[in-house]
Amino acid sequence: MTRRPSKTITIKTVAELAGVSPMSVSNVLNNRHKVRESTRQAVMDAVKTLNYSLNPAAKSLAGSGMTRIGLMYRNIENAFLSSILIGSLETTNRMGAQLLLQPLEVGDAGEVAAGIQTLISNGANAILIAPPYCEIANSRGLTKDAPVPIVALSPGDDLTDEYCIRIDDFAAARDMTRYLISLGHKDIGFIRGAEHHLISRTRRDGYIAALQEAGIAIRPELIADGDMSFESGLDAAHTLLSLAPRPTAIFASNDDVAAAVTSLAHRQGLDVPHDLSVAGFDDTPIAVKIWPALTTVRHPGARIASEAATLGIMLARGGDAPAKSATHLDYMLAIRESTAPPSG
């Protein structure tokens, strides 16, 4: 049996006694980073004074032995993010950990940095970050020296400073485009997400790769801007459907945008799929609740979150820390009624 602390001691208690920041305490106790020797000594003295036994008791410093997993996200109305929240919560509950939420208001780098600090101060032993904030945190160096493990949920590519749980978005987008080409489509529109969102570029690159390997010239006007919202999908669809020649298929970067394309097509009297094939990405619940049911890429959000939470909990509980690594889960194409060979 590990000796338990004789009273509730928090990281803050140790930090106050040692005269250092809570993050320094965490750095020392997790033995993971370079810390000045004077800082380390002050922390260890404080720990000794407080009669605290280390490792794994150290793990329980923050929060009375409860493992706490932070989750940073924004825009929970988005169905994919909602599935991430549910997957994280079900896993932390099942494994007896607590989920700490850190919703973002704006999503800029400053807010992401502050959010990481807040989660650590609140005792998070590992932090899961939703896209695109995991990418922003990585590119700005916010996670390079983080005192707790950081797990990126579905980033658009493997990242240097974070554990990554994702699917191969490039291959998935390429496969969906190959499928549309196999039906006979050549004029295939693409609606991408916001440029700062890495996933937008990766999926667009997959679309371009499939066209190139099929010897189909890239028409830049067929790539329309969006931001993954239904509203942006209406605008992008309006742009694409005004082109001459009009695309015979549109591949949207997520299902909400594909639903918007379908909605506008109906409004313009176009028959989906005979006048226009529509494909989405994510396979969120809406895919089978619109008419016609949507062909899309199955992107397992809840499973990604569940694997990420499991990894975070294992690392927080003292599991060996592997080198930063990426896990690629399986995706699949869900072929439904919204895609067909072009007519005429």
* Tokens describing residue 14: 């140790």
Q: To 5 degrees, how large is the angle CA 96–CA 102–CA 138?
A: 100
The residue among 118 and 139 lying less far from a second copy, judged by its C-beta, is: 118
**Cα–Cα distance, 204 to 252 (Å, whole number):** 10
Among 56, 103, 110, 322, binds a second copy (CB under 8 A): 103
- CA proximity to 80, closest of 218, 229, 215, 202: 229
The footprint of a second copy on residues 53-72 (CB under 8 A) is: 64-66
* Minimum CB distance to a second copy, residue 74 (Å): 13
Only one of the segments 97-105, 128-136, 161-169, 173-181 lies at the binding site for a second copy (rule: CB under 8 A); that segment is 97-105
The residue among 170 and 230 lying less far from a second copy, judged by its C-beta, is: 230
SS3 content of the chain, % helix, strand, coil (to 5): 45, 15, 45
* Tokens describing residue 324: 């930063």
> Could you give phi then psi for residue 231, rounded to 5 degrees?
-60, -45
Listed in sequence order, the residues at least 6 apart from 162 whose beta carbon sits closer than 8 Å to its beta carbon are 129, 134, 137, 138, 143, 150, 151, 152, 155, 324
Only one of the segments 85-93, 148-156, 238-246, 312-320 lies at the binding site for a second copy (rule: CB under 8 A); that segment is 85-93
Longest dimension (CA), the chain: 82
271 to 290: interface string for a second copy, x by CB under 8 A: --------------xx-xxx
The residue among 43 and 69 lying less far from a second copy, judged by its C-beta, is: 69
Among 16, 184, 221, 291, binds a second copy (CB under 8 A): 291
Only one of the segments 218-226, 237-245, 259-267, 320-328 lies at the binding site for a second copy (rule: CB under 8 A); that segment is 259-267
Tell me: does residue 86 bind a second copy (CB under 8 A). Answer: yes
10 Å CB burial of residue 244 (0-12, 13-18, 19+) is exposed
Listed in sequence order, the residues at least 6 apart from 139 whose beta carbon sits closer than 8 Å to its beta carbon are none
- What number of chain residues touch a second copy (CB under 8 A)? 35
Tell me: does residue 31 bind a second copy (CB under 8 A). Answer: no
Among 61, 72, 99, 224, binds a second copy (CB under 8 A): 99
Among 3, 33, 36, 266, binds a second copy (CB under 8 A): 266
Residues of this chain that bind a second copy (CB under 8 A): 4, 6-8, 64-66, 76-77, 79, 82, 85-86, 89-90, 93, 98-101, 103, 230, 256, 259-260, 262-263, 266-267, 285-286, 288-291
